[in-house]
Amino acid sequence: SPPKIPEKATLVFEIELLSWMSKDDLFGDEGVVKAEIKAGSGWKAPKEGEEIRCSVTAKAADGSIIEEKSDVEYSLGSGTFGPLSKAVDKAFKSMKRGSEVSLTCTKDYMYGDERPDGGSIDLTLHELYEVKDVSLSKDKSIMKKQVKEGEGHESPKDSNKVKLLVVAATDGTVTLPGFTSKTLEFTAGSGEVCDALECSVLEMKKGDRAIVTCTRPASCVETQLGFSAPASEKVVLTVELVDFEKGKDIWSMSEEEKVEFGLARKDVGSALFKQGRTELALERYKKVMDVLSYIDNFKDDAKAKAKALKKVCELNKAACHLKLKQLQDAKKACNNVLKDDRQNVKALFRRAQAAFGLYEFSECSEDLRHVLVIEPENREAKVLLKQAQAEQKKEDQKVKGMFAKMCKGLSSPATAKK
């Protein structure tokens, strides 16, 4: 018989929680109750439209398997899992890499009246694929899909030395002719590799593996990999960031070091511009402006050099924007120069070019006349002024014709009767 406990004795119990199961009513109607089987790792959870690798098993109320998808790629919101998609999408959005959950569902979140008793859905999130537009113009011409996460939180920055392994290069299915897998060593941002690789590496961490899809052929020509001409309308590169040398942080640089860094990157931008790599050149000039964004506390000598360098970079930015048909941005860059240097011929002429492209012929002519006051023999200004005046005359004739029609309509008998 069990031992007798004396009357009025105080009992002390030691309790150990061995495990517990977290449950969550996903829609607040008890239609889908999520029970966590295994916690995941990391902090990222997939979002609508992002790709994942997962396993999904749908079971009847009696536990028998209805359908099973193992280790498949899935885009949240795509509806690929049919009637299960609503519950599956909601659950995945709260899961981390490696998570396993079980969803207890009513018929409304599974197969409807076909299976009135509902059932359960077991989910495993194997991998999250972060897909990002890394193209310079943000037109989705270079898309990077992370398929393996690396280590740490830092990525290479402009001018850092990097080692990038290019594992594969295909047109989406077949290996590109002449391709050779290779580890490329280059200085990020300096144009030593094609734009597809330049753009991707700055968005990777050490050990990251990614699939880079480039739909602009000129951006993925890379002689070091065996193809010196556009190899395909679409090029798919599998890359891995082996290592990179972290350079000196901008915030830790002295005034002189910032100016020297800026001068070096400006020169890189100028070389890229001459090569026709306008977008990459523009990024270099923007970087210099970022480095020298706060110079009020610089010593006089460093401040003077920094101001002169910023002016050159603004003018070069304007030239890039003009070439890229980003006319409003070109005007803005010129205005930044002219607010401190109203007689700057390059800024006046480039602003005039932008105004011409925007059909602002009056403003264009005004800037060109200003240029010719400063440089009476400026041939380019004379040619453009003549063109602007001719276009303005055409516009005036159009307006005059429209006004005449309006006046004729107002004075017509039908109008008078009204």
Each domain of the chain, given as residue ranges in start order, spans 23-128, 131-245, 250-400
State which amino acid sits at residue 232.
Answer: S
| Strand pairing class (65-75; 131-133) | unpaired
Distance CA 180, CA 273 (A): 29
pLDDT of residue 402: 72
Residue where the block lists tokens 């990157």:
265
Q: List residues bridging with 57 in a β-sheet.
A: 68, 122
pLDDT of residue 332: 98
Q: List residues bridging with 52 in a β-sheet.
A: 74, 128
| Residues whose CB falls within 8 Å of the CB of residue 85, separated by 6 or more in sequence, listed in order | 78, 79
Name the CATH architecture for the domain at 23-128: Roll (3.10)
Cβ-contact 158, 188 below 8 angstroms: yes
State the 10-residue block means of pLDDT for the chain, 418 residues long: 80 82 87 94 89 96 96 94 96 95 97 95 94 94 93 94 97 90 97 97 97 94 85 90 94 96 98 97 98 95 97 99 98 98 98 98 97 98 97 86 69 52
Report field, pTM of the whole predicted structure over 0.85: no
**Class at the top of the CATH hierarchy for domain 250-400:** mainly alpha
Distance CA 157, CA 216 (A): 24
Q: List residues bridging with 60 in a β-sheet.
A: 119
pLDDT of residue 406: 74
CATH 3.30.1380.20 fits 131-245, yes or no: no
23-128 and 250-400 agree in CATH topology: no
| Residues whose CB falls within 8 Å of the CB of residue 336, separated by 6 or more in sequence, listed in order | 314
Distance CA 99, CA 92 (A): 9
Give 309-327 pLDDT, tens digit per residue: 999 999 999 999 999 999 9
Give 145-161 pLDDT, tens digit per residue: 999 989 988 999 999 99
pLDDT of residue 262: 98
314: three-class secondary structure by DSSP: helix
Distance CA 358, CA 325 (A): 10
pLDDT of residue 409: 64
| Residues whose CB falls within 8 Å of the CB of residue 36, separated by 6 or more in sequence, listed in order | 21, 22, 23, 99, 100, 101
pLDDT of residue 21: 65
